[in-house]
Chain A
Amino acid sequence: MRHFVISLIACLFASPLWAVEIQEVTSPGGIKGWLVEDRSIPFVALDIRFQGGASLDAPGKRGAINLMSALLEEGTGDLDARGFAEAAEGLAAHYGFEVGDDSVTITARMLTENRDQAVDLLRRAITEPSFPQDAIDRVRGQVISGIQSDLKDPETIASRRFSSLAFGDHPYGSARDGTVETVTALTQEDIFAAHRATLARDRLFVGASGDISAEDFGLLMDQLLGDLPETGAAFPERAEYALEGGVTIVPFETPQSVAVFGQAGITRQDPDFFPAYILNHILGGAGFESRLMNEVREKRGLTYGIGTYLVPKDLGELYLGQVASANDRIAEAIEVTRQEWKKAAEEGVSEEELTRAKTYLTGAYPLRFDGNSRIAGILAGMQMIGLGVEYINTRNAQIEAVTNADIRRVAKRLLQPENLRFVVVGQPEGLTDTN
């Protein structure tokens, strides 16, 4: 009764009925945004991204943009933190503010029945924040509490140490939320400066999905974002990857060692990005179907999970991975990982692996577009990395076009087993620090 196994070779989406219709909207005031209009549920999701993010922190002010973003909901005009929260609750509107290395992202879900009020409340937060001193001090205490917790969390210690070794003094080399010292020293003026540096119209990308017409979406963008300044701070220089192969051990008393490993990556705009993406999928990106998961977890039981990720940031690229094993087993997990890295660099992948990866990646792509918030996020993200609306319809063809010769070429170029660096936090046995 193996009758269902034959579906392995069935091809995905034989009927090309799937389509996402994106409208490119330019507001009367000249703000551009993308919309997927879907009137079936009476709310709209917005995703607004300001390129630059925490990397725009001024020298010596690390953590200012993070603290600023956390304070946007803490007061505007005659509303204090409580007044703002009460107003949002009364409208049942949800706002989110998130800071990344390359962007500040503002998300919102707003009911159709009170959308104008919900937009106006968010407008006041984004364009007219008051950053009152008592809110700064209170939220600063929360941020510092989080920083202190991070200093004792093995996963965070490992990834921070890796970034710092890789990028040194560039903003990518330090934590977005800053240090206890830098955050303690931030003044109200620093917070206003961080606001002016980041939230400007020359770096703005907007995605929307849900119950709104293109015309109303244009008006919404003007109402919400039209008052923002034209320009913000200059973007920093590129970050040069400065790390060689080896092992860095960070001693920490805990039963399980955490290893973050990596090497230089590849840009999103590189003509070889898709071969690299597929290669990573097969090596360590595919969850249970990846080589590393199979070798380190399924065959040897050395870890709960191992994964690798291409991390193409705006100003520098990493190829990263992470694994955790008991202190007496981490050395073996690392050894197996090194071997797989070397094997993939030298031998590439099999035809069958390539076919399987393509089937998964092309089949999984349409499943991403399932909900207003997710769609809005995809639309803003696509714009930020410079993709056009047609990308959604050509992306799977680009995956299909990758040949095994492409993969072999890119494996030789991208994978550098000798340059793979492991940062291990814990009390690992049988490992030597090579610094």
Chain B
Amino acid sequence: MRRFFLSFFSVLFATAAHAAENVTTFTLDNGMQGVVIEDHRAPVAVQMVWYKTGAADEPPGKSGIAHLLEHLMFKATDNLEAGEFSKIVAANGGSDNGFTAQDYTGYVQRVASDRLGLMMQMEADRMRNLRLTEADVVTERDVVIEERNQRTENSPGALFSEQRNAALYLNHPYGGPIVGWKHEIAALGLSDALSFYDTYYAPNNAVLVVAGDVDPAEVERMANEIYGAIPANPDLPERLRPSEPPQLAERRLTYADPRVAQPYVIRSYLAPERDSGAQEKAAALVILAEVLGGSSNTSYLGRKLQFDEQLAVHTSAFYSGSSLDDTTFGLVIVPVPGVSLAEAEAALDGAVQDFLDEGPDPAQLARIKQQIKASEIYQRDSVQSLARTYGAALTQGLTVEDVQAWPDILSAVTAEDVVAAGREIFDRKRAVTGWLMQPVSDEETQ
């Protein structure tokens, strides 16, 4: 994306959605889906168009093309000059951006609500009328390489994460970075961008989400007129990706970099994602992550390793169920000075085992349920985040009904579900354990 691409992990309950009374949906004849979320408190509208294609849909050897194309979508069309799209948004007092993830690519504008029609016209225009030049691609590729320099090459933590991820997925494209491998980005060209664009940018592969001070019937009417005029792509490929074979061997890696200030251990397990109509296991994993390693002050790992044993400055468990294919469940421990990474890892494993033996504290579980309920109230304060929730879900294999059922499914998770989910996924044959550290000096190795 132009300013930043989405990080892999999301905030715990950001996926909770509230009751459906202000959400309307429709599908155009050409297959484009629409979701409208009403909020009339301010004269603002957000338009997002989400394409069901992302980094994990790239052809082999072309990593980074989904993201580079997203940058190039701000260049010329048949009707606009390069850069004019954003210029018009700004001239209307709005802001705009794009974003790329493994499963989707999206474009967003935030404007006064009476400018929605104009935004739709421009977004529909670049869905089919993009006009790229070789010079556009060469310059923008340099920008993307600088983006990669800034986010990844300049950050030992990001390089470490990239290596761990590549080791976790044996066959699935989630093993590659969204921004692309540097040597592959450098080789991307105009034809790669156009081929990806022609294949995936079509109304039957897109979801329109509009949120804010709008009338759903009027939004549908405008969408029908503006996006409805674009023909579907009859050759849209089925969304099939290489899948993981049975994982049989534990993987371990160490990344040493002199720029590391704070060594840590992180373990990522392959884990199931939310599936349409079957979100229960993912819900149990969300609660597991929260109970085990959510708040430092109240989670099991925080209490045991930071408060009682004082072995760690930080611990965490993380899981994002929003994913088209198998996702990850992670554990982190950042040891206090004087505690080695080996000791930290052993303490972490010991604590996880103890947790599975003891089960979650019922009072803690009750508090988490209370927070899930409250998140439905708080989330109504930001329709933009609600819009993101729907856009991500609909491009990651879920339905509007799945999104609306999610808070109840989370609330129904029991202590037994949490332990069972943990026992199922904590299998080191399906995991990567990484150590991030300073290079060991010569004296230490002698």
A residues with CB within 8 A of B: 1-5, 7-8, 10, 12-13, 17-18, 38, 40-43, 45, 73-74, 81-82, 84-86, 89-92, 94, 109, 111, 138, 141-142, 145, 148-154, 253-256, 258, 286-289, 294, 297-305, 324-326, 329, 356, 359-360, 362-367, 369-373
With A85-B297, A152-B259 in contact, do A145 and B90 touch (Cβ < 8 Å)? no
Residue among B78, B79, B303 with most chain A CB within 10 A: B79
Contact between chains at A304 and B143 (CB < 8 Å)? yes
Is residue B252 within 8 Å, beta carbon to beta carbon, of the partner chain?
no
Residues 112-128 of B at the A interface (beta carbon under 8 Å): 112, 115, 118, 121-122, 125
Segment at the A interface, from B198-206, B241-249, B377-385: B377-385
Q: Looking across the interface, which residue of chain A has its beta carbon closest to that of B380?
A: A41
Contact with A along B255-270 (1 / 0, CB 8 A): 0001111100000000
| Min CB gap A91→B, angstroms | 8
Q: 24 interchain pairs (CB within 8 A)?
A: A1-B78, A4-B88, A13-B43, A41-B377, A73-B297, A86-B297, A94-B378, A142-B313, A152-B259, A253-B259, A255-B154, A256-B149, A258-B154, A288-B83, A289-B90, A298-B139, A300-B142, A301-B141, A301-B146, A302-B146, A326-B145, A326-B146, A360-B91, A366-B43
Number of chain B residues close to chain A: CB under 8 A = 76
Q: Looking across the interface, which residue of chain A has its beta carbon closest to that of B212?
A: A370
Q: Looking across the interface, which residue of chain B has its beta carbon closest to that of A256?
A: B149
Q: Looking across the interface, which residue of chain A has its beta carbon closest to that of B129?
A: A1
Residues on A with C-beta less than 8 A from B380 are 41
Contact between chains at A138 and B310 (CB < 8 Å)? yes
Contact of B118 among A4, A45, A149 (CB under 8 A): A4
Q: How far is the CA of A151 from the CA of B92 in the complex (A)?
A: 42
Q: Looking across the interface, which residue of chain B has its beta carbon closest to that of A93?
A: B374
Contact between chains at B371 and A89 (CB < 8 Å)? yes
Contact between chains at A253 and B90 (CB < 8 Å)? no
Residues on B with C-beta less than 8 A from A141 are 313, 336-337
Residues 77-128 of B at the A interface (beta carbon under 8 Å): 78-80, 82-84, 86-88, 90-95, 110-112, 115, 118, 121-122, 125
Residues on B with C-beta less than 8 A from A373 are 381
Contact between chains at A5 and B378 (CB < 8 Å)? no
Contact of A7 among B80, B83, B88, B310 (CB under 8 A): B88
Other A-B pairs, 9, CB within 8 Å; known A255-B149, A356-B90, A364-B95: A2-B79, A5-B84, A84-B297, A86-B298, A90-B370, A148-B261, A288-B83, A304-B147, A366-B42
Q: How far is the CA of A89 from the CA of B336 in the complex (A)?
A: 27
With A152-B261, A299-B139 in contact, do A288 and B112 touch (Cβ < 8 Å)? no
Contact between chains at B297 and A82 (CB < 8 Å)? yes
Contact of A366 among B90, B112, B368 (CB under 8 A): B112
Q: How far is the CA of A3 from the CA of B371 in the complex (A)?
A: 49
Residues on B with C-beta less than 8 A from A360 are 90-91, 93
Contact between chains at B306 and A138 (CB < 8 Å)? yes
